[in-house]
Amino acid sequence: MSIRDTLAVQAKNLLNRGFFHILGSTLTNKLIVFASNILIVRFLTQDEYGVFSYANSIYSIVLLFTGLGLISGLLQFSSEKRPVEEKFEIQRYVLTVGLFIDAVIMMLLVFVGYGAGLSIAGSGHCLAMLAPLIPLDYFFQYASSILRSRKLNKEYSMLLNVNTIGYTGLSCVGAFAAGVPGVISGRYAAYAITISVAVILLKGVGFPLRSTKFLSSKKAVDLWKFSLPTGISSVFNSVVYLLDVLMVGIIVASSIDVACYKVATMLPEGFLFIPQCIVIFALPYFAEHRLDSVWFSKHARVLLFGSLVPMAVIAVVLFIWAPDIIKLLWGEEYVDAATAFRIISLSLIVSPLRTVSVNLLACLHRVRFNLVVSVVSLAANVALIVPLTFAFGIVGAALATVSTTVLVSLLSLRGLRSSLKESDK
């Protein structure tokens, strides 16, 4: 068979499995999100956008604790080869316990919003308004993980499209009509639509939770042993991309600088959807074959290479044309963000190593290693971002973020290589 015929067969297989549905919907959604973010920046004043970005960065950090990692456990355990009845028990447990945890988190966030006295005026009230979105987002993630674990990629893509179009479209309408309160109100309306569609999809694919038994204590402990370390690792890894905005707000205490830095991060971080999209599709297959070392090693290399190449090209393009891109998309008033934009763009070259390696290590149940790397990541980020932001402002925050990304990516890749060598023995 020729190379052309082989590629055609592989493409057809990917199409049948729903990869291009995920890729297409994710690409479309990211473009919609990016366009809506540009519009929101245009609709809000620079001061309003700074206040909203600061509050939203705190909300985004807290959102990482949603369900304390149970969503990760749900996807992994539901994708593995287990009895169907056991999977339903896990799904019922994750739904009920996770929503209870998020209700507690929501109340704590409301208290912080109204009682903590945040450094940027107006951000506390904004944060309290965002808090009830946490359990709504949890159910969306829950439904998405159910569909992914069953390899229902077309249905998953549909749900993702509904959420993104509603979330971004209604947020833009709200920003235009009522400023920051309008943005938040638009998010509530979007989640109401998304959850309605999710319930319909879950009923359509068979979701008998009412008749399902409760998960046994032993199985619940096993689920938590995977979910909690994975969740903590995910928090620490993601905080690298969120702590910078928070620290700029605390240290510089300027809504204008927060707005500029948020603009600098928006496009480079937006392109992270490429390796994430590939992982979203591939992860259930890797979880299913985690005990097949030959299959796992072979496809892990393909996954890494396929993620690295496009990101390196994008990083170079963003670095070269940074000022022109900022002027075109956000206007002259944000051109001061160009240097930070260039620095953050460089992280795209290595970030796929982290995205792929961390997820594959989780598939291999190497959750403790991921947790150790995540702790190192957070410690390094804090150690760098505080002095560098004091010294160089938003440029220092960008340098700290990129340095931490490089460190974590290399450590995660080394851990994956060691795990694959152990599996091959």
Q: What is the pLDDT of residues 360-378, one digit of tens each?
A: 998 888 888 888 888 898 8
- Among 209, 234, 259, give the residue marking a domain's end: 234
Q: What is the pLDDT of residue 27?
A: 66
Nearby residues of 54 by Cβ (< 8 Å), 6 or more positions away: 118, 120, 123, 245, 246, 249, 255, 258
Q: How far is CA 173 from CA 137, 206, 271, in A?
A: 20, 36, 25
Q: Which of 50, 59, 36, 55 is nearest to 133 (CA)?
A: 59
pLDDT band at 139 (very low <50, low <70, confident <90, very high): very high
Q: What is the pLDDT of residue 23?
A: 60
Domain assignment of residue 166, yes or no: yes
Q: What is the pLDDT of residue 234?
A: 79
Please check whether residues 245 and 219 belong to one and the same domain.
Answer: no
The larger pLDDT score, comparing residue 25 to residue 310, is at: 310
Residue 206 has pLDDT above 60, yes or no: yes
Please check whether residues 271 and 401 belong to one and the same domain.
Answer: yes
Residue 14 has pLDDT above 60, yes or no: no
Q: What is the pLDDT of residue 100?
A: 97
Domain assignment of residue 306, yes or no: yes
Q: How far apart are CA 75 and CA 78, in angstroms?
A: 5
Helix (H) / strand (E) containing 73: helix 70-79
The whole domain housing 76 covers: 17-234
Q: How far apart are CA 31 and CA 46, in angstroms?
A: 23
Please check whether residues 87 and 168 belong to one and the same domain.
Answer: yes
Q: Which of 229, 79, 212 is nearest to 146 (CA)?
A: 79
- Among 182, 201, 234, give the residue marking a domain's end: 234
Residue 13 has pLDDT above 60, yes or no: no
Please check whether residues 310 and 396 belong to one and the same domain.
Answer: yes
| DSSP assignment string, 260-286 | HHHHHHHHHHHTTHHHHHHHHHHHHHH
Number of domains observed in the structure of the chain: 2
| 261 exposure class (CB count in 10 Å sphere: 0-12, 13-18, 19+) | buried
Domain assignment of residue 328, yes or no: yes
- What does the block give as tokens for 352? 């796929």
Please check whether residues 174 and 288 belong to one and the same domain.
Answer: no
Please check whether residues 209 and 317 belong to one and the same domain.
Answer: no
Residue 338 has pLDDT above 90, yes or no: yes
Q: What is the pLDDT of residue 66?
A: 92
- Region 204-230: mean pLDDT is 84
Domain assignment of residue 83, yes or no: yes
The larger pLDDT score, comparing residue 80 to residue 73, is at: 73
Nearby residues of 206 by Cβ (< 8 Å), 6 or more positions away: none
pLDDT band at 424 (very low <50, low <70, confident <90, very high): low
- Among 177, 209, 234, give the residue marking a domain's end: 234
**How would you classify residue 82: left for phi > 0, otherwise alpha for psi between -120 and 50, otherwise beta?**
beta
Q: What is the pLDDT of residue 39?
A: 83
Q: How far apart are CA 308 and CA 118, in angstroms?
A: 39
- What does the block give as tokens for 331? 């206007």
Q: How far apart are CA 249 and CA 412, in angstroms?
A: 30
Q: How far apart are CA 199 and CA 203, in angstroms?
A: 6
Q: What is the pLDDT of residue 102?
A: 97
Residue 127 has pLDDT above 90, yes or no: yes
The larger pLDDT score, comparing residue 395 to residue 122, is at: 395
Residue 257 has pLDDT above 70, yes or no: yes
Please check whether residues 220 and 248 belong to one and the same domain.
Answer: no
Please check whether residues 51 and 81 belong to one and the same domain.
Answer: yes
- What does the block give as tokens for 309? 């190449």
Amino acid, single-letter form, for residue 76? Q
Please check whether residues 170 and 301 belong to one and the same domain.
Answer: no
Q: How far apart are CA 42 and CA 422, in angstroms?
A: 53
Domain assignment of residue 267, yes or no: yes
Domain assignment of residue 9, yes or no: no
Q: What is the pLDDT of residue 21?
A: 58
Q: Which residue has the tokens 């090693």?
A: 297
Please check whether residues 105 and 196 belong to one and the same domain.
Answer: yes
Amino acid, single-letter form, for residue 183? V
Domain assignment of residue 6, yes or no: no
Residue 6 has pLDDT above 50, yes or no: no
- What does the block give as tokens for 237? 């890894």
Long-range residue pairs from 182-189, CB within 8 A, at least 24 positions apart, any chain: 183/40, 183/44, 183/52, 184/126, 184/129, 184/130, 184/133, 187/130, 187/133, 188/132, 188/133, 188/136
Q: What is the pLDDT of residue 3?
A: 42
The larger pLDDT score, comparing residue 196 to residue 329, is at: 196
Please check whether residues 270 and 326 belong to one and the same domain.
Answer: yes
Please check whether residues 190 and 257 belong to one and the same domain.
Answer: no
| DSSP assignment string, 39-53 | HHHHHS-HHHHHHHH
**Taking the CB of residue 33, how many other CB atoms lie within 10 A of it?**
18
| 97 exposure class (CB count in 10 Å sphere: 0-12, 13-18, 19+) | middle
Residue 158 has pLDDT above 50, yes or no: yes
Render pLDDT for 96-119 as a digit per residue (tens, 0 to 9).
Answer: 999 999 999 999 999 999 887 787
End-to-end, the C-alpha distance of the chain in Å comes to 32
Helix (H) / strand (E) containing 144: helix 133-149
Q: How far apart are CA 87 and CA 286, in angstroms?
A: 18
pLDDT band at 177 (very low <50, low <70, confident <90, very high): very high
Amino acid, single-letter form, for residue 26? T
Q: Which residue has the tokens 């152990």?
A: 422
Domain assignment of residue 5, yes or no: no
Name the average pLDDT for the chain.
Answer: 86
